[in-house]
Amino acid sequence: MTKTTSKSGGRWAKSAEFYARALELMPGGVSSPVRSFKSVGLSPVFIKSGQGAYLTDVDANHYIDYVMSYGPLICGHAHPAVRAAVSKQIGRGSTFGCCSPLEVELAQIITTAFGSMEMIRFVNSGTEAAMSAIRLARGVTGRKAIIKMAGGYHGHMDAMLVSAGSGATTHGVPSSPGVLPRVAESTIVVPFNDLPAIEAALASQAGDVAAIIVEPIMGNIGVVLPRQDYLRTLRDLCHAAGALLIFDEVMTGFRVGYSGAQSLYGVMPDITCLGKIIGGGLPVGAYGGSAAIMNHVSPAGPIYQAGTLSGNPLAMAAGLATLRLLDPQEPYGQLELLGRRLADGLAAAAAAQGIPVTVARSGSMLTLFFTGSAPASATVGAAHTSAGAKSIISNYADALMCDTRDYARFFSAMLEQGIMLPPSQFEAWFISAAHTPDDIDMTIEKAGAAFVHCREAHL
């Protein structure tokens, strides 16, 4: 179990028992790798329940939660409206293998919120959304190559589990065993926020690029914001090369604003991927775009994609209940205030201990980067910085220079104090509408103690 646990005896005893059993039954004892706490050198905590902004684990430890299931729960755990909608629907059945009115209702809300999406297809995960969007782009353009960002995460489909190849703008190489080199070689990996790299990659593929796929605000290397005009120029370069622009807004959709990052930055993609919030905590993904593009998808067109539980009424009910709690103004105004309060408080608490950090944020998603060893070369972005912070993280290479040991120390010290953070430097923290200013202030206070712990580790 965790080092902390061995020190404090049985505080996480039941989690340890569950983990021992889980290790016998599931690879790494988990259903998704990040939950293993491996990146922070600890053993995982097993959660019994969530309520609003709070979690309770199987040992009755309570936490203020900033994981929030990695984004879906913008209104908090077990929201009454979601519980009522799911309870009502489950009594009528969860899935029919037939069309249901709820998928039409949810499609209406989403395509109204996202003006670039005239039509939408529901799937069951963000991975499926990205996988289907890439197949669609290739089918529509008749082209092969896909350009993605280093550190960009679009789910676990083979073509996206690719690292940059030897030549910066040539064929990718598999980043996981089991991905065939010939699949990886059609994926070109370039740094985020680097327009010359995009130009070179497009030129190197001589008209064979089907699409560029990008998280418009990166969230899977930690939160990394696009430089001014980056997205606009990226779109123009993409279209000049005859390629489609795919925005993966699985994390940012309905998160950074009611109409996602594309509205925030005023740049409309050809295809958008969504997930997380649109399912309200149940498994829902989606991809969408113009009718001209989407009508290539079966059965309207020849590009095949299907799913037994796609659009199932139970998940649609959870998604509808959640999106009906949102509008273009709220809870985004409240979340901006809470996000700014937390980011500023973290930066100030770190500065008080002389710990170099950068807090990058967009609304209610943020990352506290421990920049003690990050390059001074990284350019300035729109982020909260603490005194002594050497840089603003602008791409994956910068993020990889961060001090993951300090993050692990900080994570452990916060967990001990009842604050649940994502167990990796390279993830985003999420604030929900259920978090209160008191929760934020308590988190900042506990972060102060955790930064002392980090400072003492350097003495």
Main-chain phi, psi angles of 260, to 5 degrees = 75, -170
Cβ 33 to ligand KE4 shortest distance, Å: 7
- For ligand KE4 (CB under 6 A), the number of binding residues is 19
Q: Using the rule CB under 6 A, give the single segment among 131-139, 149-157, 289-297, 407-415 that binds ligand KE4.
A: 149-157
Q: Any contact of residue 186 with ligand KE4 (CB under 6 A)? A: no
> Is 148 assigned a catalytic role?
no
CA–CA separation, 16 and 97 (whole Å) = 40
Q: Looking at the chain, how many residues does it have?
A: 459
Which 283-342 residues touch ligand KE4, going by CB under 6 A?
285
Which 17-36 residues touch ligand KE4, going by CB under 6 A?
32, 34
Of the candidate residues 40, 74, 130, 397, the single one contacting ligand KE4 (CB under 6 A): 130
CA–CA separation, 33 and 439 (whole Å) = 28
Q: Any contact of residue 427 with ligand KE4 (CB under 6 A)? A: yes
CA–CA separation, 173 and 306 (whole Å) = 29
Q: Any contact of residue 219 with ligand KE4 (CB under 6 A)? A: yes
Cβ 454 to ligand KE4 shortest distance, Å: 24
Cβ 285 to ligand KE4 shortest distance, Å: 6
Cβ 154 to ligand KE4 shortest distance, Å: 5
CA gyration radius for the chain?
A: 22
> Is 7 assigned a catalytic role?
no
Comparing C-alpha atoms, which of 194, 192, 252, 256 is closest to residue 224?
192
| Closest to ligand KE4 by CB, 131 or 184 | 131
Q: Any contact of residue 356 with ligand KE4 (CB under 6 A)? A: no
> Is 65 assigned a catalytic role?
no
Residues 6+ apart with CB under 8 A from 299: none
CA–CA separation, 428 and 73 (whole Å) = 13
Sign of CA dihedral 430, 417, 37, 444: positive
What is the spatial order of strands in the sheet that 119-123 belongs to?
119-123, 285-289, 271-274, 244-248, 209-214, 145-149, 187-190
Q: Any contact of residue 215 with ligand KE4 (CB under 6 A)? A: yes
Of the candidate residues 114, 153, 230, 287, the single one contacting ligand KE4 (CB under 6 A): 153
Contact 135, 305 (CB under 8 A): yes
Q: Any contact of residue 172 with ligand KE4 (CB under 6 A)? A: no
Question: CA dist 35 to 22, 110, 398, 425, 432, Å?
Answer: 12, 30, 24, 13, 20
| Closest to ligand KE4 by CB, 39 or 89 | 39
Q: Any contact of residue 79 with ligand KE4 (CB under 6 A)? A: no
Pairing of strands 209-214, 244-248: parallel
Q: Using the rule CB under 6 A, give the single segment among 55-63, 150-158, 198-206, 435-443 that binds ligand KE4.
A: 150-158
Q: Any contact of residue 70 with ligand KE4 (CB under 6 A)? A: yes
Q: Which residues bind ligand KE4 (CB under 6 A)?
A: 32, 34, 70, 125-127, 130, 153-155, 215, 219-220, 248, 250-251, 275, 285, 427
Q: Which residues are catalytic?
A: 153, 248, 276
